Every structure is written in structure tokens, then in C-alpha cells.
Structure 1
Amino acid sequence: MTLRTVTATRYVTPFREGGSLPGLVEADDLGMYVLKFRGAGQGIKSLVAELIVGELARALGFNVPEIVFADLDPELARAEPDEEVQDLLRASGGLNVGFDYLPGSFDFNPLVRDPGPDLAARLLWLDALTLNVDRSWKNPNLLLWHRDIWLIDHGASLIFHHSWSPAWKPAETYRYDASDHVMLPVAGDIGAADRDLKPLLTPALLAGVLANVPDDWLADDDATATDIRARYTAFFTARLDSSPAWVDTLEATRAARV
């Protein structure tokens, strides 16, 4: 479960569809990666969400491109003519998050690949668990590659961590609006997804995923990295314990859509 670290050697092109201006880079292993930059407007917390949710999704059986740490030298900015890209590279020296580039992939289209009711229900469950607000028809953050569905872009998940304080306590329930979720119209039994997936998200699995997040991405003036990992653990524990309530809400939303 330990993530590899590569060194970015060349900035290739930006992906301007994303608000954080991710970019395609080549690395010293000759691989190509979609890089999410620590200097982007969403900040380091979005990279933390990418790591945690991406690796949890992989462990739960979803297709997720390999996630790596990408060490970036801000001197790469010298070769870029675009001032916006220059500023982003200069602000992102050090470790960033990279995703294995899937050449020839394209945006999810149910006319090309029907996800089926089981996968749709499981993905809806995952996004409700992690409070991912960014999986709509307008922006599904799903790719089709070799006819399989791949999950990308989880930086908008775990939104509570942008504003927590030393007094933060995990709420047993968080409101999650699934009415615009891309999988809602085709999702099957979400209760069955809950019964299948919840046992897989063990304390050991969660601890292993959280261990991948660098300490300096977690610690702040009010809490140590250990304290922050404990907060994430408390959130997921409370969220899983309260799954009957939010799964019922998802089922009601699905029934209303039908």
C-alpha cells in the first residue's frame, strides 16, 4: 500500500478542464502522470483527500489510476511560457500527487459503457461515505479506459477538513445530497452495497491509507499529524456506524428519482 515517489522531469501540458489546473508531466521513470499541484488554489487539503479517498476506493475494488508522490523542482517553471503555469510550478516545489496517465481514455458515457446497478450503487455509497460533492452529470470525474470505468478527482471529498479546529468532533451524520449524482438513475440496491463494502473498510485498512499521507501535510499549529489522523479515523468510524441512516436517505432519493 506504500506509494511510490517519482521525480517530475518535464511539464508537458495543462488540463484546463479542472479548476485546480492539473497538468501532464513526465517523470524520471519515463511514466506520464496527471499532476495535482500543492500550490493550486484548493491547497494541500485537496491532495490529502485525493490520497485518502483514492486509496480507499482502490482497496474497495474500484478502478483508480496508480497514485504516486511526484517531487517537483520549481525550476521547471523557467521553460514554461504561460505565466499562470509558471506561478503554479513555482508554488508547488516538493511533493505533489500524481495519477498514472491513461492514454486514450475519455469521459464516462453510459451509452458507451453501462455501469450496471451494482457498480452504480457501490459508487454512490462510496461518494456518500466520503462526502464527495463532485460526481454529477456535469462533471462525473469518471473515465472510460479499455471499456472499464475509472475513478479520478477526489479532491472535493472530505470537505469538513478545510474548517476543523481543536474542538472538532465527528458528527454521526452529515447531509449528503445525491440528487444530481451521475449514478443515481441506474443504481441498484444501496443497502446491499453497504453490507458488502462496510466490512472491507477495517481499522487496519484505514490506518494503512492514512499512513501514506505525509506528516507535514497534516500537522498544523493546533494539532500534530497523529492528532489529525485520529480525527480522520473518528470521522470514518462515525460515518460507518451511522450508515443505516444515510443509506436510507440515499434509497429514498433513488426511489423518488424512479
Structure 2
Amino acid sequence: MIDDIQLQLRTVQVIRYVTPLREGGSLPAIAEADDGFLYVLKFRGAGQGVKALIAELIGGEIARAVGLKVPELVFAELDSAFGRTEPDEEIQDLLKASVGLNMALHYLSGAITFDPTVSTIAPDLASKIVWLDCLLTNVDRTPRNTNMLMWHKELWLIDHGASLYFHHSWHNWEEQAKRPFVQVKDHVLLPQASEIDKVDAAFRLILTPERIRNIVALIPDEWLISGSSHESPEEHRQVYIEFLTSRISSSEIFVKEAQHARKSLI
């Protein structure tokens, strides 16, 4: 489990663009940082912009808080001079639009994409991941795109950028916080998730309001400033906190939806 008192992310400087990961719609890339490590770099100038980075940060750190395996998340600083020699015009435009603070995940060298037809996941672990994705309203953990890796015979979670879709509009977020997650019916691990009740009780104890507040506090101010909004970064943070704490306190709603969806599969 994480230590709330010491909760913080490192910041690295990107020094070399290695290769694009073109299977991702937002053109993430493998890049080298000044600490000598390789990272999967998620760009603020891509498709959904900083909202995807915020979802990545919140989703990844909540997953880590409940004991699931997630590659280390770091803030990745991109200099304005970076990428000027990049010959691909699309990539060069993306780099120019991403100057400043981006999000990166430690690159798990040699990891392979999780394949449900090859690897069997235990009910406890499957239930934990399904519960997490119901909380985050993560629509992107399907058989078609599992967003999980097998590395050293362990399951690792990646890519939470499609989570928290309420923040793309902000409309009725209080109501959305208490809605069931109907897309759980498409979750790749739902057939194995037979212990969601047990997981629910445990995770509600772990994800206290204080812990959620400390995770949300990690979001940089510059990611929370919107040109069309008059709210301060702190006001935006408070919405994330209230959305998540409300959703956790009413978790029986999404738990019942997941159990109902599972019964229709088995």
C-alpha cells in the first residue's frame, strides 16, 4: 500500500524520442529520460489533452493504493527544443503541442500484452480489477484492448486515460458519481470476477477520503486550468475528490451492476 504522507511523483526531463507506439490512437511513444530509464510517454498535446493525463494519474495511483501492479508514473518535462529534428510531421506537431509537463509510465521491457485465452487470472485479482474499473468508469479494458501486460509472470495495469469520462463535460457530475457502470458487461475479466463483494468491503476501507484527497492533490495546477472555465485548480480538484468519494460511498450501485452483468455471462 502507498504511504499517504510521502505520496509524490518524480519529475524527469525527456532527452530522447525513441519510437512511437502507433497502436495507440493518441500516439504515445517510448522515450528516454535524464535518469537513464525508458518510459511510455503520454502527451498533453494528443487527442484528449490533459484530461487523459489526469485520468492516467488518478487511475494509476488509485490502482497502486489498493495493491495492484502499475508501472511507476512520473511527470515528464518536454523542452521546446525537443523534437525539432523529428522528420515525421505529425509527430513533430504533437511534440510542439506537448511542451511542458506530460505523463509517463516506466517502460516494462519484454512485457507482453495480456491475452485472456492464454493466461488465467485468479478470481480475487480479477474482482479487484473489475471493481477498480467500475469506480473509475474505465471503458478501455475489453478483450479487444485489455490494457494489461504480463511481465515476469505478473499482471500489470496500464493506460487509464479513458477513465473518468465525466470530466470531459462536467455536466451532472454529482448524478454521474452514483450511476452504475453499464459498460462493465464488456470487461475482459468479468467472467472470473466472482469475489466483488469481498473486494468491495476491503477497498472501501483503503480508499478513505484522505487517501483520495492526497492522490488528487498530485494533479499539477497547469493541467487543471481551462481557457473556458473560471474555476480555480483547487475547485477542480474538489470536484474530483467529491466525485470519487461519492462513488466509493455508494459502491453497492456499481457492484450490483457488475454482478448482474456477470450472471448474464455464466
TM range (shorter): over 0.9
Determine the C-alpha separation between the residues in 1 that align with 2:245 and 2:234: 16
> How far is the alpha carbon of 1:122 from its aligned partner?
0.8
* Match among 169, 175, 184 for residue 174 of structure 2: 169
Aligned positions of 1:68-107 closer than 5 A: 68-107=74-113
Instruction: Name the structure 2 match of 1:150.
Output: 156
Other structure's SS at 2:115 match: coil
Structure 1 moving runs of 4+ over 4 Å:
none
- Structure 1 unaligned runs (5+)? none
Other structure's SS at 1:30 match: coil
Instruction: Name the structure 2 match of 1:253.
Output: 261
The change in CA–CA distance for 1:254 and 1:168 in structure 2 (over 3 A counts) is closer
Aligned positions of 1:30-45 closer than 5 A: 30-45=36-51
> How far is the alpha carbon of 1:41 from its aligned partner?
1.2
CA RMSD of aligned residues (A): 1.3
Is the Cα–Cα contact under 8 Å of residues 173 and 243 in structure 2 kept in the other structure?
no
> How far is the alpha carbon of 1:170 from its aligned partner?
4.7
- Structure 2 unaligned runs (5+)? 1-6
Is the Cα–Cα contact under 8 Å of residues 74 and 91 in structure 1 kept in the other structure?
no
1:50-101 CA deviation, whole Å, 9 max, x = no partner?
0011001001100000000010113222221111111111110011001000
Determine the C-alpha separation between the residues in 1 that align with 2:132 and 2:101: 27
Instruction: Name the structure 1 match of 2:3.
Output: none
> How far is the alpha carbon of 1:172 from its aligned partner?
4.6
Determine the C-alpha separation between the residues in 1 that align with 2:29 and 2:10: 19
* Match among 229, 236, 244 for residue 244 of structure 2: 236
Other structure's SS at 2:140 match: coil
- TM-score for both structures, normalised by structure 1: 0.96
How many residues align? The count is: 257
The worse-fitting range, judged by mean Cα deviation, of 2-11 and 179-188 is 179-188
Is the Cα–Cα contact under 8 Å of residues 120 and 184 in structure 1 kept in the other structure?
yes
Q: Percent of aligned positions with the same letter in both sequences?
A: 50
Other structure's SS at 1:179 match: helix
> How far is the alpha carbon of 1:112 from its aligned partner?
4.1
Instruction: Name the structure 2 match of 1:189.
Output: 195
Is the Cα–Cα contact under 8 Å of residues 13 and 25 in structure 1 kept in the other structure?
yes
The worse-fitting range, judged by mean Cα deviation, of 98-107 and 113-122 is 113-122
